[in-house]
Structure 1
Amino acid sequence: MSGGAVRQGGPYPSCAAAACRMVVGRRAGMGDAAFAPYLARQAAQVRERRATVADVQAQDHDRQLENAAAWSYLARRVGDAADPNGGLRIALPSGPRRTRALAERRRAGYRRRLMDLVSQARDAVEEVLADDTEHAVSTLPGRLCGLCRGGCCTRGGDHAYLTAGTLRAYMRRHPEMTDVEVVERYVASLPPASQAGSCINHTPAGCALPRDMRSATCNAYACESLARLLDAQRGDPAPRVVLVVQRSKDKWTHAGKDVDDRMVGIASLTEAGTRRFRMPAKHVATSDGIRHTDRCARD
């Protein structure tokens, strides 16, 4: 069932894999009449899992081909003069695009949580807010995050990653404020509407909280795409151009055959600005032949 050396033994030979041996081992306790349909179900599940894995791998292969085609197109449009090294090539997720009015129940729940965190803050260990001055001289990280629009914020929910340590750090910086005033300052910072399916403070323009009120997680987190850029900027020479292929799924969506992961935009980033492109329809080679695609550049 799982591959590997086959062990002959009776009418149901098994491979060396532990899972396979466990399935065949149930025959003794079940009897042949019950074991035969059980084995058929197990075999069908294995085939289904293998087919799913193969499908995901094929989609990943197609995605890599699409990305490569888009990056090549961007490189031709930007030209070698912008970056003789060809630019840094990054695949970027997307934050949610729909905005929804903030429900009163979310606002009330947020206030209750803040009150609880403030009461815990008296005994909490203070969080150290991230120092981002290392990369403040470059606009590229901010441009990359702005293009994504919060793909990493979708797990923020109604807690916004705030902890007792976050509140204690804020209270230490503002000793003149009472506990109630601290809570109300956070509640007053809530936007009238936030991005659907995302953090309560997530707006189309970014986080509604000032940076010194955010959690250390929010101030310090770097997704894989941003981490690649920050790492490249430490190199010599640092990239002058970032070529971005953006896809529709957010940072937290797992890969799968039913996941909407279409290409939604292509862009080049420089210190001077962000330039979006429309890629013309092309024929792209895929694992199952040649197909027509026009999936790019809607913003």
Structure 2
Amino acid sequence: MCGNAACKHAHVRAEAQAESERQAELWERVIKLDETLCGAASDPTQTDPLHPIQFRGPHVLGVLPSNDRKLTVLPTRRKTVFVDRLMRIIGEAAAVRFGNVELADDGVGYEESDNASDEHLAILGNGCALCRGHCCPQGSGHAFIHVDTIVKYMESNPGKRPRDVLQDYLSRIGSRTYEDSCVYHCEKGCSLPREMRSKVCNGYLCKGLSEVLYKLGEGSADQALVIAVSDYYPEKKTDPKRGTTDRSGRQQGFVRAGLIDPSGLELYQLTGPDPKVPSVKNCSADDANVSAGSAIRLSADHNDSSPIDSFPET
């Protein structure tokens, strides 16, 4: 692409069109998956207790992003940059907490939703568990921790000195984190408890989860059938092992599917060359001969902890 304005505009339009087509294809996938599973559920010959997904009642559909990054050893330089900033933030927070400095508005408007029911919030948490942190790389280098984050933590823990607060945050940094992501984005999820996270991390909803929440609020459904797909490929953009190709020629990551409700997440993997046309068959996660587009039950009833705080085994 050259620097000409018309060329740039054409590139932006092409990118927008490609993304629109990608989203349309993903919705086609989740609709076909829903039709397949609903059809299998009404099949009297279906005897496998693991398949199909058992819908208890009305459910909504959704398309979510997916974290497909690799776990790597946290580079020393990335940790050093983060810690240097954190120390400065804690110093500023201490001046607010114990001095006469006023807390400045950081301009971040995210707040935890006060309109959603506890059941819907639990569903959203399980949606985050299915995604596994696609949004977390946005916090690389800072974890969205600002002065107000630390002040709030200090107020909740009045007996802690600034150095204690620093140690609390340092002790949560993982030795292995997802590639180019937040220092707290670990294999099992966010290593920070909710009270230590920023208001961005506690309040942000991606477009997919926002749509699921809106649909849940419109009716009586308390379940959501969603798919999650990655768009992250730092290497080998044509590697067939990384996923399938959409209509625009772009690769897409392996699609995970899940039925999420307030009590947990039932996780499935869509595999094969044509996951747009899923089939449900008896198989296990260890089956080496899984048919194209079949759904594999990997785990169920993920409720061992707050869903947004940890990811299911895959």
Structure-2-length-normalised TM-score = 0.64
The answer as to 2:212 corresponding to 1:229 is: yes
Structure 2, unmatched stretches of 5+, are 43-52, 233-245, 278-290, 297-313
C-alpha distance in structure 2 between counterparts of 1:189 and 1:134, whole Å? 29
- For 1:190-241, what per-residue CA distance to the aligned partner results, in whole angstroms no more than 9, with x for missing partners? 112111121111012111111111101111111122222333333441x132
Task: State how many pairs are aligned.
Answer: 246
Of 267, 271, 292, the match for 2:258: 267
Partner of 2:31: 68
Contact 1:195 1:203 in 2 (8 A): yes
**1:242 alignment counterpart:** 224
Q: Which residue of 1 aligns with 2:85?
A: 113
1:110-161 residue CA offsets vs partner (Å, 9 max, x unmatched): 2211111122222324899737695434532221111111111121102000
1:160 aligns with 2:143: yes
- What is the CA RMSD across the aligned residues, in angstroms? 3.8
Contact in 2 for aligned 1:143/1:269 (Cα 8 Å) = yes
Counterpart AA for 1:70: L
Counterpart in the other structure of 2:158: 175
1:169 to partner: Cα distance: 1.4
% same residue: 23
2:111–2:204 CA contact under 8 A, matched in 1:
no
Matched position secondary structure for 2:136? coil
Query: Unmatched 5+ residue regions in structure 1?
Result: 1-40, 286-292
Q: What amino acid maps onto 1:265 in structure 2?
A: R
Contact 2:26–2:63 under 8 Å retained in 1? no
Question: Considering only CA atoms, is the larger Rg found in Structure 1 or Structure 2?
Answer: 1
1:109 partner amino acid: V
Deviations 1:257-276 (A, max 9, x none): 56532451222223443223
For residues 202 and 49 of structure 1, the distance between their equivalents in structure 2, rounded to whole angstroms, comes to 31
The 3-state SS of whatever aligns with 2:66 is coil
CA contact (8 A) 1:75 1:243 kept: no
For 2:187, which of 186, 192, 204 is the aligned residue? 204
Which residue identity does 1:182 align to in structure 2?
V
| Structure 2 counterpart of 1:36 | none
